[in-house]
Structure formats: structure tokens, C-alpha cells
């Protein structure tokens, strides 16, 4: 079969806004597959059509990626509203975006945001004095658990894939069945994990902490730990029901915690523990002496059944 790659460039200019999208498609031996690919490209392109933008409007939402720099994190700037929309489309967790159309007041800032449901897409500010152009993308909304597959109770391990390597976690439903049900459900459906599935706190010799926030309600049940936590065991952070969690990396049993944490898993092997130890020594800073050490660059992960 002969397969030829081709590239098409589309430019749209309307109402003073111009944006460009580069489209890659594949020509196959069958005309139907070629037409199907072109339809998919056209539909994706239309999602960022200027006809869907709202001028002089600022949509509200939880910030996924800011438009201004903070510390070592560079703010997102784009050349046009269309490019800002495309950034939202390509960013996990984004379904609302706002772009500055007045370089004199706010440059070319592009803010990526998220709301839980389509009905929550609301205007925070509107009028001729507002320099923002806003839009939304129909993705990454909260999911109804009833619409998801039944939890596979045979899943005994999950894999966290990080830039530093894979962490294999053995699940312990005998310690907290409701917690394991949540973790299994998130691992079964790839798109459930949000941009906040990441490690963000590193305390060498003590713990590595992160979030397992998904587009479904978190576990809501706390269960006293079955024993004092030991090295490599995993629980929800702060005595909560999640979705923030941690890997205990202390050399001695955590008698100081008593049975305060809901514990639901343990590191499955030495290789996985070595990956956790590699992550926990990455640069982290505390705002004040004695406070938590937050990672300079957060470490993202994906989760899957293993």
C-alpha cells in the first residue's frame, strides 16, 4: 500500500483576527479513509473558528496554565486568539481560555482554565473596557461515574509512568477497598487523570507527595491504617480521603502518625522504589524554615493498570 504524507495550510481572517493552523493528513489507497481524515481535520479546525469567540469577555475558571510568569514558570503568550484556543485544545485539563487583544494593557497573554461542567462556563467580566477574548472547548469536563466501565476488581497493580521511570504500585483493597476502587477506575480510563496527576512535594528520607485528581469525584471514605506505616507504603495525605497522596520513604515505622492515614497501597519492587528516590531528591524549596518543600518543577505522571 502506498501511503503519502501531505501538509495543508489554512489561514482564516475575520473580524480583524487572523490565525493559522497546520494540518497533517494521510492519503491512503481508499478514498473513503481520505475523506474521513479530512472531515476530522475540518471538525477540529472549526472548534477554534473565530465565530465561536466572545470579544470583550473574560470567562472564569480554575487556572490550568497562567498567562503571566511566576518564578521559573513562564507565562503563556500566543500571537492570536485562535492560537490560544489551539493551546487549550492540546492541553490536558483545559476547556476554557482567555486571550488578551490589547497589547498595551496585558500583552498577548493566553490563560488556560477549566470548569467542571459545560453549564459552569460563565463570564466573569464583560464590556468594551474588557481587553479579553474568550472561548471554550468541549472536553475535559467532569465525568458521570455511571457512564464509565465497571471497575475491574482483578487489577492488582497500577503503573505510574514518569519522566524518571515507572513506579509500580501494589494495591491493597484489604486496607481500604473504597480507595482502591477509585485508583482502579482512574487507571482503567486514560483520559480521567487531570493535569494535576503529578508529584509536587519532596522530603528526602521522609515522603514524596502528589495528587491523583481526576474528572470524577474522589474517594470519600477514610479508614484508619491497619498498622504503623512502613517504608514504601502509600496513603492519602493529611488524614484525608484523597486525592492528594504520598509514598512514605522513612527508614523507620511512622509511629508518630499512629493510624491516622488511609493506606491503600505499597511500592511493588525495588526498581520502583529507586524511581521514587530519584524523584524525591529533585530540587525543592520551602517558603520558610520548617515548612513543606515544594518541587521547583512538578513531576507529571500517567496511570494505567499494570
Higher per-residue confidence, 154 vs 16: 154
DSSP the chain: ---EEEEEEEEEEETTEEEEEEEEEEE-S-HHHHHHHHHHHHHHHHTT-GGG-BTTEEE--EEEE-SS-BTTBPPPB-SSHHHHHHHHHHSTT--EEEEE--HHHHTTBEEEEE-SSGGG--EEEESTT--EEEEE-S-S----GGGSPPP-TT--EEEEEETTEEEEEEE-TTT-HHHHHHHHHHHHSGGGB-TT-EEEEEETTTEEEEE--BSSPPP------SS---TTEEEEGGGSSSSEEEEE--SS--GGGTT-S-EEEEE-SHHHHHHHHHHHTS-EE-SSTTS--EEEEEEE-EEEE-
Say yes or no to pLDDT of 226 above 70.
yes
Please state, rounded to an integer, the average pLDDT across all residues of the chain. 85
Domains belonging to the chain, first-starting first, are 4-136 (3.50.4.10), 146-305 (2.40.100.10)
- pLDDT tens per residue, range 85-108: 999 999 988 999 999 999 899 999
Higher per-residue confidence, 127 vs 70: 127
Say yes or no to pLDDT of 28 above 90.
no
What's the mean pLDDT in 185-199? 90
Say yes or no to pLDDT of 246 above 70.
yes
Higher per-residue confidence, 155 vs 6: 155
For the full predicted model, state whether its pTM sits above 0.75.
no
Amino acid at each position: 500500500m502506498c501511503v503519502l504524507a501531505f501538509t495543508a495550510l489554512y489561514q482564516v481572517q475575520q473580524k480583524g483576527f487572523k490565525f493559522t493552523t497546520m494540518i497533517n493528513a494521510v492519503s491512503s489507497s481508499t478514498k473513503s479513509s481520505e475523506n474521513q481524515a479530512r472531515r476530522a481535520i475540518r471538525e477540529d479546525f472549526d472548534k477554534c473558528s473565530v465565530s465561536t469567540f466572545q470579544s470583550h469577555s473574560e470567562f472564569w475558571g480554575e487556572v490550568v496554565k497562567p498567562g503571566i510568569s511566576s518564578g521559573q514558570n513562564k507565562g503563556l503568550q500566543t500571537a492570536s486568539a485562535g492560537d490560544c484556543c489551539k493551546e487549550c485544545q492540546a492541553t490536558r485539563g483545559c476547556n476554557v481560555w482567555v486571550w488578551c487583544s490589547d497589547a498595551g494593557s496585558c500583552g498577548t497573554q493566553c490563560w488556560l482554565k477549566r470548569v467542571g461542567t459545560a453549564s459552569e462556563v460563565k463570564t466573569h467580566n464583560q464590556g468594551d473596557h474588557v481587553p479579553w477574548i474568550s472561548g471554550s472547548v468541549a472536553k475535559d469536563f467532569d465525568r458521570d461515574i455511571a457512564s464509565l466501565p465497571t471497575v475491574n476488581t482483578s487489577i492488582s497493580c497500577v503503573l505510574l509512568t514518569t519522566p524518571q521511570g515507572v513506579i509500580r504500585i501494589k494495591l491493597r483493597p484489604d486496607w481500604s477497598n473504597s480507595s482502591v476502587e477509585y485508583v482502579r477506575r482512574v487507571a482503567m480510563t486514560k483520559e480521567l487523570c487531570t493535569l494535576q496527576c503529578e508529584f509536587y512535594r519532596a522530603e528526602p528520607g521522609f515522603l514524596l507527595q502528589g495528587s491523583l485528581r481526576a474528572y470524577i469525584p474522589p474517594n470519600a471514605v477514610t479508614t484508619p491504617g491497619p498498622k504503623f506505616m512502613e517504608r514504601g507504603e502509600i496513603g492519602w495525605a493529611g488524614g484525608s480521603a484523597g486525592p492528594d497522596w504520598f509514598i512514605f520513604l522513612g527508614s523507620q515505622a511512622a509511629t508518630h502518625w499512629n493510624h491516622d492515614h488511609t493506606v491503600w497501597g505499597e511500592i511493588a519492587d525495588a526498581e520502583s522504589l529507586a524511581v521514587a528516590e530519584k524523584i524525591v531528591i529533585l530540587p525543592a524549596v520551602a517558603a520558610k524554615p520548617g515548612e513543606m518543600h515544594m518541587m521547583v518543577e512538578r513531576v507529571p505522571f500517567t496511570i494505567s493498570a499494570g
